[in-house]
Structure 1
């Protein structure tokens, strides 16, 4: 996975590197492992390499700027459209020492992975019943089961059983959710707020 830059560049160098196919030389490359988290605010250059299985949480947006396409060809035999000039002004060229989100997992606790004005995402690694109170929220909640299996029951008596790889959308008018792992489960929990 590529996230951010590995050295300081500016807009002019970015354009030059796209033109001469060396942009990948200045992107920060990460070997990824299960549980890795990267928060990618708008403007952060990133690419997902082969073999990565990811859960991507994002704000609603219909804008993506493709700055490089590995010289791939479309069905017509031509290269796909790049958005070099549009992206030039949108890219955040700030250099950071590490673009990975560091967190400490805790069993049977809510661990915040990302919190921004568009969404909050938490990790729930549970081996006992967990009750989540959303009565003060005005948002739907999405649960992605990353490991194990569990039942999810709301305060209205609705219940569903989920296992690894399944996603559940909890409506915004739900006040309380009870998650009962069998025997343990790991979830990503996301809501607006």
Structure 2
């Protein structure tokens, strides 16, 4: 039986990480008994980690099944023509209790050739950060492979990396080929292409609970680096209330910032699904036949065939995402 589509919520897929903590439990209300919850995959079509619906008549249906059943009605005509039964985005919340590895991601061409995957262009929105928390993004000086390899081999890589102190609301756009890492004490929302391909180049010489070092990928990473990128990774955006403030527009996704304190009527003119990540407060989303709410740390997807709906809140902040 084919039910009518409505705003969809999904069961979070929680990931235990060597660097994870407990903020996804304590601040975002993700129920978990994992010791170090590093990531909550909110909407995922990664093989082996496909999201399941958590609300309404389609409860426990997989995202993959929805794609094959509803096609363009779910993700939009142009998206279905391009991606077929593959959802193009991976939506996450990340809690770095300790520093993540220093890493980068390959582009579409290299990812397809090596891993039969999309590339991994991504963006970060900082939801909460401890005092003096930092992100690593790019280098602090002009760079080439010779300088990079010299510091890598001498274990002085951190001397050439750019450290940015961050606070709530800071936003970064991480293009493929750019070195980066999330520092200890940062809780953020991440929007990225559907990919789980990461090349670690340094992991702080730490070991897991069994005394093993995590795998590094320095040979693979060298070809994936782009050493000539401008320092344009910090994202300026407006903070005007009750309207979409553009943050990132790229070939893979568009993300807007919404600060809402009343009811907004939304017209979907994008020929795309629209995802809302609630990064503060609580909102209700009303369609002609449905009413759903999300609060801080929750995510919802409005299917492409819902052309008009309403968002209402007394005080909330949302990330609005579409392709």
TM-score (norm 2): 0.56
Match of 2:277 in 1: 144
How far has the Cα of 1:74 moved from its partner?
Answer: 3.0
**Counterpart mapping for 1:72-111 below 5 A:** 72-94=206-228, 96-97=230-231, 99-111=233-245
Aligned to 1:190: 321
Q: What is aligned with 1:162?
A: 294
The whole-number CA distance in structure 1 between the counterparts of 2:260 and 2:188 is 21
Are 2:303 and 1:171 aligned? yes
Give yes or no for contact 1:149–1:184 (8 Å, CA) kept in 2.
yes
Q: How many Å separate the matches in 2 of 1:171 and 1:161?
A: 16
Bigger proportion of residues as helix: 2
The offset of 1:72, in angstroms, is 1.1
Give the Å deviation of 1:98: 5.3
Single out whichever of 91-100 and 26-35 deviates more from structure 2.
91-100
Distance 2:315 2:198 in 1: 37
Provide the rounded CA distance (Å) in 1 between the counterparts of 2:194 and 2:162. Answer: 26
Q: Secondary structure at the match of 2:174?
A: coil
Tell me how far apart the structure 2 counterparts of residues 95 and 31 of structure 1 sit (CA, whole Å): 21
Q: Is the 8 A contact 1:73 1:80 kept in 2?
A: yes
Which moved further from structure 2: 70-79 or 26-35?
A: 70-79
Equivalent of residue 66 in structure 1, options 200, 203, 221: 200
Structure 1: gaps (5+ residues) = none
Corresponding position of 2:141: 7
CA contact under 8 A between 1:65 and 1:82: conserved in structure 2? yes
Given candidates 98, 104, 118, the residue that maps to 2:252 is 118
- Do the aligned partners of 1:18 and 1:84 also contact (CA within 8 Å) in 2? no
5+ residue gaps, structure 2, are: 1-134
Q: Which residue of 1 aligns with 2:286?
A: 153
Work out whether residues 150 and 179 of structure 1, in 8 Å CA contact, stay in contact via their aligned partners in 2. Answer: yes
Q: Higher strand proportion, which one? A: 2
Aligned counterpart, 2:109: none
CA RMSD of aligned residues (A): 1.5
Assess if the C-alpha contact under 8 Å between 2:138 and 2:231 holds in 1. no
